[in-house]
Amino acid sequence: MSEEKAHDAADPRHQGQPKNRRSPRVVVCSDTRLVHEGISLALNQESGFDVVGQVQPEAAPAMVATLRPDVLLLDAGVVGGRELSHLLKAASPELRIVVFALSEREPDIMEWAEAGVSGYVGRDGSIGDLAAGIQGATRGEAFCSPRIAGLLLARVGRLSADATPDQATGSLTRREQEIMALVEQGLANKEIARQLGIGYATVKNHVHRILEKTHSHNRGAASARMRRTDPATPEPAPDTKPRPATK
């Protein structure tokens, strides 16, 4: 084993310690030896952490499988880092990954979010930020700067606004689509029942399921959502015909 690989091995001081320790078990991963050694040394001087290993990216899967750390600190600059994150999360779903030295460009943030990381520490972050990221990750919290939080929330908002017609209506049955078309025309449930030759209670059940599937609170919201997600859906024409009184 090379000298550098030897440095990447787990610290033997931690072997034989009880498994029910309160301190998070941490592995630091970087392809730069000065980086992972420096961060490990700094974290070892902090209270409440148990740095059990330092590792190069290619050796990370084996070390994670052997040591089963709670948190992996991953250098954002390593080649194939996001693919490594996917691999590690697939093999160890309970593992929390905090990525550091990260640029705050939106494409980078989104790609790391999709890779399943639990915390983000920017290039100007400190050891204190890394410590907060580890603590947050072990509590199931996502640690990040206000800017990154804003980017993530904006992305969620855009995904919701950009829902495709299939997402809004693709799960509707043929009968539900027929009923929704009549709702768009402004027909009441009793009128829909008469036109389709089905029971009033059946129409109510169908409308209820339509509201659930389109995540709408009422018929008007469902109609508005259908028009928003399907530009080809026309606005309902005003109903100028007198309607019979209903009991």
Residue with the bigger pLDDT between 6 and 169: it is 169
Averaged pLDDT score across all residues of the chain: 81
Residues 128-163: b if buried by 16+ CB within 10 A, e if exposed: ebbbbbbbbbbeeebbbbeebeebbeeeeeeeeeee
Residue with the bigger pLDDT between 16 and 69: it is 69
Of 106, 125, 160, the last residue of a domain is 160
Q: pLDDT at residue 246 above 50?
A: no
In a domain, 237, yes or no: no
Residue 153: band (very low, low, confident or very high) from pLDDT cuts 50, 70, 90: confident
In a domain, 234, yes or no: no
CATH code at position 172:
1.10.10.10
Same domain? For 50 and 139 the reply is yes
In a domain, 198, yes or no: yes
Range of the domain at 128: 3-160
Same domain? For 76 and 179 the reply is no
Q: What percent of the chain has pLDDT over 70?
A: 77
pTM as predicted: 0.58
In sequence order, which residues have a C-beta less than 8 Å from that of residue 98 and are 6 or more positions away?
Answer: 71, 72, 73, 74, 117, 118, 119, 120, 121, 130, 133, 134, 137, 143
What is the average per-residue pLDDT within 221-227?
Answer: 75
Residue with the bigger pLDDT between 99 and 213: it is 99
What is the average per-residue pLDDT within 87-95?
Answer: 93
What total number of domains does the chain contain?
Answer: 2
Same domain? For 131 and 42 the reply is yes
In a domain, 236, yes or no: no
Same domain? For 104 and 155 the reply is yes
In a domain, 97, yes or no: yes
Same domain? For 12 and 63 the reply is yes
pLDDT at 165: 46
pLDDT at 24: 93
Question: Range with the lowest mean pLDDT among 20-24, 53-57, 69-73, 102-106?
Answer: 20-24
pLDDT at 229: 56
Please write the tens of the pLDDT for every residue from 1-45. Answer: 444 444 444 443 444 444 455 689 999 999 999 999 999 999 988
Residue 105: band (very low, low, confident or very high) from pLDDT cuts 50, 70, 90: confident
CATH code at position 140:
3.40.50.2300
Same domain? For 49 and 122 the reply is yes
In a domain, 245, yes or no: no
Same domain? For 206 and 135 the reply is no
What is the average per-residue pLDDT within 127-131?
Answer: 94
